[in-house]
Amino acid sequence: MRFFIAHLATETNTFAAAPTGLGDFEEIGIFHGDASRRDPEGAGAFLRYLRDLVEGEGGEVVESLCTLAQPGGRTVRHVYEALRDEILADLRAALPVDAVQLLLHGAMAAEGIDDCEGDLAAAIRAVVGPGVPIGLELDLHCHFTEQMRGAADVIVAFKEYPHIDTDARGEELYRILKDAALGKVRPVTAVFDCRMVGLWHTTREPMQGFVRRMQAVEREPGVLSVSLGHGFPWGDVPEAGAKLWVVTDNDPALAQAMARQLGREFWALRERIGASVCGIDEALDAAFESGFGAAEPKGPAVLADVADNPGGGAAGDSTFILRRLVERRVANSAVGAIWDLGAVHICKAAGVGAQLDLRIGGKCGPASGLPVDLRVTVRAIVPNHSQSALGTRERLGDCAWVEAAGGLHILLCSVRTQTYGLDAFTGAGISLVDKAIVVVKSTQHFHAEFAPIARKVLYVSTPGAMSFGFAAIPYRLRSLAYWPRVPDPHGAQQI
């Protein structure tokens, strides 16, 4: 069995001002057929996993491009087309192949191309013809499109947020593709448009239960896979939004019935599954309600700066929470990672132990707030720092740990990325379990590692780049007939 594999991904925030260019992919790494061997714990982690899986069963792997970029604005068109065309050239050179398996995002848009994944899949189909099964593994925050469905045989999305099941979904897709290539199954897909926009964490009920419900349906005869694509709220493309799809073994009626049934069940949960966010002062007040400072504190209150998540296309340098920590004289806290190349450079030049006046954050526009000026001591400089990130390693670049009055500890990074792992802080020398408050630049992926040490987790809304007022997002391309903008976007349609 000869599998052609590749990994190309970025999540496009169409409201972000800065485009995603070649340098954004280069910052994480562009690997030409060797990521699984050259960077097996980083960008190539999934392709390494898939290679081991296929070769472990006696199959052969032809590995193509592997690259990804931090979420940002639309990808520069010629950059996307060059990456696409490299995959196609590798595929032509690899023919014949028995199956094609790709790890993509599902919400990548380029200048003039709203659906990069669908465009890539259609081009691959043109190369391999109708008889070779094509499988796409997508991020949970994907936009499921008809072009994708028309070109691919099987599409599988992550079920968990944070995305702790990338490998499990990859193996699921591999099994289906292998069986399809051997003629054991014939996948067919039906989709239900939930007509919903939002952000739904699977770390609590009732979303935990809905994930279990999808998994239970997958155990029913004839059902191969069930996916819920949550959609990416800040991606303004025509087919955006939450969609549920079911893949069956050559049973379109079963696929349609189950997609409709599960879609209706998800729709019925809409009032109960949204992320609970609060303002900065409300969060700071709540953080101390649990009594930190008692004889035996139970870890920090973790505040997620959800509107300034680089993983959703934000800059990662907003200062709204930092400013309130200073103004309220909150003691014994940590904040990070704030993207500020200039501040990192100044700290590196000054050296560990230096005391200086430092201007922090607020560099990238109104959504970043105003810079905060602090007298700080440089506690550590960490060259080429990285953090654990849901089973891989994520670069933070050169980092600086600075401390301001009152035990305010700030982690500054030079590579824009969200905070995933505890070692983003601890790897730079900043302890966390003894802190009263820890602020992370993340929306949800932090939860896997930070929740176990936290006495409380709070999601904090600020005037950042990612608005959680989903009913008022200024879409131009997608239909405005969605919940919560419209109470019942399904109208008279039977759901």
pLDDT of residue 291: 55
Nearest by Cα to 158 from 230, 234, 239: 230
Q: Does 208 lie in the same domain as 63?
A: yes
Q: Does 344 lie in the same domain as 217?
A: no
Write the pLDDT tens digit of every residue in 400-437.
999 999 999 999 999 999 999 999 999 999 999 999 99
pLDDT of residue 297: 54
Q: Which domain holds residue 397?
A: 277-467
Residue 314 covered by a domain: yes
The total of structural domains in the chain comes to 2
Residue 48 covered by a domain: yes
Q: Does 189 lie in the same domain as 71?
A: yes
Residue 453 contacts by C-beta under 8 Å, 6 or more apart in sequence?
299, 300, 302, 422, 432, 433
Residue 494 covered by a domain: no
More confident residue, 471 or 18: 471
Residue 487 covered by a domain: no
Q: What percent of the chain is modeled with pLDDT above 90? A: 94
Write the pLDDT tens digit of every residue in 202-240.
999 999 999 999 999 999 999 999 999 999 999 999 999
DSSP state of 20: B
Q: Does 288 lie in the same domain as 233?
A: no
pLDDT of residue 295: 43
Write the pLDDT tens digit of every residue in 347-393.
999 999 999 999 999 999 899 999 999 999 999 999 999 999 999 99
Q: Does 337 lie in the same domain as 256?
A: no
Confidence bin at 492 (pLDDT 50/70/90): low
Q: Does 329 lie in the same domain as 257?
A: no
* Domain finish residue from 235, 268, 301: 268
Confidence bin at 464 (pLDDT 50/70/90): confident
Nearest by Cα to 118 from 96, 98, 129, 134: 134
Residue 490 contacts by C-beta under 8 Å, 6 or more apart in sequence?
195, 267
* Domain finish residue from 268, 302, 328: 268
Is residue 312 over pLDDT 90?
yes
Residue 495 covered by a domain: no
Q: Does 285 lie in the same domain as 261?
A: no
Q: Does 282 lie in the same domain as 263?
A: no
Confidence bin at 467 (pLDDT 50/70/90): confident
Query: Are 82 and 89 spatial neighbours (Cβ–Cβ below 8 Å)?
Result: no
Residue 53 covered by a domain: yes
Q: Does 342 lie in the same domain as 215?
A: no
Average confidence (pLDDT) over 173-180? 98
Among 173-182, 198-207, 245-254, 485-494, which stretch is predicted with the lowest mean pLDDT? 485-494
Q: Does 150 lie in the same domain as 103?
A: yes
* Domain finish residue from 249, 268, 287: 268
Q: Does 379 lie in the same domain as 463?
A: yes
Residue 30 covered by a domain: yes
Q: Which helix (H) or strand (E) covers residue 410, if one does?
A: strand 408-413
pLDDT of residue 495: 60
Residue 378 covered by a domain: yes
Write the pLDDT tens digit of every residue in 254-306.
999 999 999 999 999 999 998 789 999 999 999 988 555 544 458 999 999 99
Q: Does 158 lie in the same domain as 211?
A: yes
